[in-house]
Amino acid sequence: MDKKLLHRISPDDCTPLSSVRFQPFALPPHPMAQAAAREVTDKVRAYMRAHKESELHQCGKMFGVLIVKNHAEEPGYLAAFSARLDGSYHHEGFVPPVYEAPEQPIGTSKEESQRLQRLLFANYRFTNIYGETLNLQEIFAHEKAILPPEEWFKSSHKPPIGLQQASLPPSGAGDCCAPKLLQYAFSQGLQPLAMAEFWIGASPRNELRREGCFYTPCSGKCVPILRHMLRGTDALASPNQQHSQVLCALIETVYEDAYLQVVNKPAGLLSVPGKTGEVSVAEYLSGRQKNPYLRPVHRLDQDTSGLLVLAKSPETYTTLQAYFQRRDILKRYEAVLEVQGADSRITDAAEGIITLPLLPNPYDRPRQMVDKEHGKPAITEFCVRERRANDTVFVDFYPRTGRTHQLRVHAAHPEGLNAPIVGDRLYGHGFTGKNGRMLLHATEIQFVHPVTKEEMHFCIPSGF
208 pLDDT above the threshold of 90:
no
Least confident span in 4-13, 110-119, 176-185, 267-276: 110-119
Q: How many CB atoms lie within 10 A of CB 200?
A: 21
- Write down the pLDDT at residue 156: 46
Which domain does 94 fall in, by range?
3-229
| Nearest residue to 284 via CA among 296, 275, 299 | 296
Please identify, among 194, 229, 264, the residue that sits at the C-terminal boundary of a domain: 229
Q: What is the per-residue DSSP string for 3-36?
A: GGGSEE--GGG---GGG----TT-SSPPHHHHHH
Number of separate domains in the chain: 3
Position with higher pLDDT, 173 vs 151? 173
Please identify, among 183, 208, 229, the residue that sits at the C-terminal boundary of a domain: 229
Q: What is the per-residue DSSP string for 394-457?
A: EEEEEESS--TTHHHHHHHSTTTTS-PBTT-TTTSS-S-SGGGS--EEEEEEEEE-TTT--EEE
Q: Are residues 218 and 358 in the same domain?
A: no
Tens digit of pLDDT for each residue in 40-58? 999 999 999 999 999 999 9
Residue type, 19: S
Q: Tell me, what DSSP letter sits at residue 220?
A: T
Q: Are residues 56 and 200 in the same domain?
A: yes
346 pLDDT above the threshold of 90:
no
- Write down the pLDDT at residue 18: 62
d(CA 432, CA 28): 10
Q: Are residues 180 and 153 in the same domain?
A: yes
Q: Are residues 220 and 349 in the same domain?
A: no
Q: Are residues 337 and 317 in the same domain?
A: no
- What torsion do the CA atoms of 204, 428, 237, 41 make, to the nearest 10 degrees? 70
Q: Ranked by mean pLDDT, which of 240-249, 342-351, 373-382 comes out on top?
A: 373-382
| Residues assigned a catalytic role | 301
Tens digit of pLDDT for each residue in 90-109? 999 999 999 987 665 555 57
> Residue range 151-163: average pLDDT?
48
Long-range contacts of 426-430 (CB under 8 A, 24+ apart): 426/208, 426/366, 426/367, 427/208, 427/210, 427/367, 428/210, 428/213, 428/338, 429/210, 429/212, 429/213, 429/338, 430/27, 430/28, 430/213, 430/214
Q: Are residues 135 and 243 in the same domain?
A: no
d(CA 358, CA 376): 5
Please identify, among 167, 198, 229, the residue that sits at the C-terminal boundary of a domain: 229
Q: Binning pLDDT at 50, 70 and 90, where does residue 146 land?
A: confident
Q: Are residues 195 and 249 in the same domain?
A: no
d(CA 61, CA 47): 13
Chain Cα centroid distance, residue 118? 28
Q: Are residues 26 and 126 in the same domain?
A: yes
pTM reported for the whole predicted model: 0.83
CA-to-CA dists, residue 61 to 52, 80, 86, 182, 211, angstroms: 16, 11, 11, 19, 9
- Write down the pLDDT at residue 142: 80
d(CA 250, CA 243): 12
| Nearest residue to 197 via CA among 89, 83, 65 | 65
Beta-carbon contacts of residue 389 (< 8 Å; ≥ 6 apart) = none
d(CA 366, CA 219): 8
C-alpha atoms less than 13 angstroms from C-alpha of 448 in its C-beta half-sphere: 10
Q: How many CB atoms lie within 10 A of CB 148?
A: 12
Q: Are residues 19 and 7 in the same domain?
A: yes
Domain containing residue 248: CATH number = 3.30.2350.10
Counting Cβ atoms within 10 Å, is residue 121 exposed (0-12), middle (13-18) or buried (19+)?
buried
Q: Check: CB of residue 269 under 8 Å from CB of residue 296.
A: no
Residue type, 443: T
pLDDT cut 70: percent of the chain above it = 86
